[in-house]
Structure 1
Amino acid sequence: MSLFPVPAPDQIGEPFWAAVAERRLTVQRCPACREWTWQPKPVCPACGSPDLTWEAVSGRATVCSWTTPRPPVLPAFESLVPFVVLLVELDEGVRMVGQLVGDAGDLLRTDGTDVTFSIGTRVTLRWRDQDGQWLPSWAVDR
């Protein structure tokens, strides 16, 4: 089976991926104005502070949107479709993208018609192993 490409962290996002390697989900937060920041940035987009820190988040979220890639897709994804990509909003207010997985973190090969979820469905963080790289993914709450 083909695998998805493994992320290549840059200097700004490296602390996120270091936490992910330990199966911890962290997001930047500004100590000055307390705003959360996602995607990783060198300065706070709200107040301009260069002192962003990384804080743990709950991993609890709500589905905002989703899509299902279908053929034709990039060759790296041919053996994996269909699967569901979710846009979720964490309870902390940050939106992230991840794949729909089962409770054990296994990628669900589905077009979404056999899984009950919709906008507003509650999901929980699960960790999916992608060729030795842990990836934050989401499972529907039961």
Structure 2
Amino acid sequence: MDVIAQKSFPAALPLGPQVPVDEPFWMGLLEGELRIQHCKECDRWIWGPSWVCQDCHAFDPPWEAVEPVGTVYSWTTTHHAFPASREFAESVPYTTALVELPHAGGRRILGIVTNTRDVRIGQHVRGWIQPAGESTGGWPVLRWIAEED
């Protein structure tokens, strides 16, 4: 495994609640939790944030803290800083993973892997919350650490 130092990464701004429906996600990160919506009517986990369950149409599905562990479903490594994302210029190359969360019904969520560029589909990862800072617009951000099998 090509190990790199676990480090903080910049984030594409703006971050934080953009619409009221996603506010519980961001408040969860501020409190050190990963929160995903979970419909109590039909037991469906929901990501991205929604006012209505896509299965049973129940309104305002609640948010639940879930363990931030999962497996890599897909990934990509970025080797070039694009003009629209200049804040990442000093961080290339970096790897972004689409992580499947078994504790959230298999919902998938994106994030940067901070300890290596060498990941593989099916690899176990553990989430960590990068503290709020200037490079993240004052909001914490979910990141991933790839675990060795």
TM-score, with normalisation over the residues of structure 2?
Answer: 0.80
How many equivalent residue pairs? 130
User: How does 1:1-142 map onto structure 2 within 5 Å?
Assistant: 3-4=10-11, 5-9=13-17, 10-74=19-83, 75-91=86-102, 92=104, 93-102=106-115, 112=117, 115=118, 117-131=119-133, 132-142=138-148
1:80 Cα deviation after fit: 1.6
CA distance in 2, matches of 1:72, 1:126: 24
CA distance in 1, matches of 2:42, 2:87: 42
- For 1:79-124, what per-residue CA distance to the aligned partner results, in whole angstroms no more than 9, with x for missing partners? 221111000100131100000023xxxxx6xxx2xx3x31000111
- For 1:8-55, what per-residue CA distance to the aligned partner results, in whole angstroms no more than 9, with x for missing partners? 312100011001101101100111001000000010011111030001
Q: Which has the higher contact order (CA 8 A, sep 6+)?
A: 2
Structure 2 unaligned segments of length 5 or more: list them: 1-8
Contact 2:16 2:139 in 1 (8 A): no
Q: Which amino acid aligns with 2:15?
A: P
Moved more, 75-84 or 42-51: 75-84
CA distance in 1, matches of 2:49, 2:91: 28
Moved more, 68-77 or 47-56: 68-77
1:3 Cα deviation after fit: 3.4
Question: Which protein is richer in helix relative to its size?
Answer: 2
SS in 1 for 2:43: coil
SS in 2 for 1:20: helix
CA distance in 2, matches of 1:80, 1:54: 32
1:69 Cα deviation after fit: 1.6
1:72 Cα deviation after fit: 4.4
Q: Which runs of 4+ in 1 moved over 3 A?
A: none
The change in CA–CA distance for 1:34 and 1:83 in structure 2 (over 3 A counts) is same
Moved more, 30-39 or 70-79: 70-79
Contact 1:3 1:130 in 2 (8 A): no
SS in 2 for 1:133: coil
SS in 2 for 1:79: helix
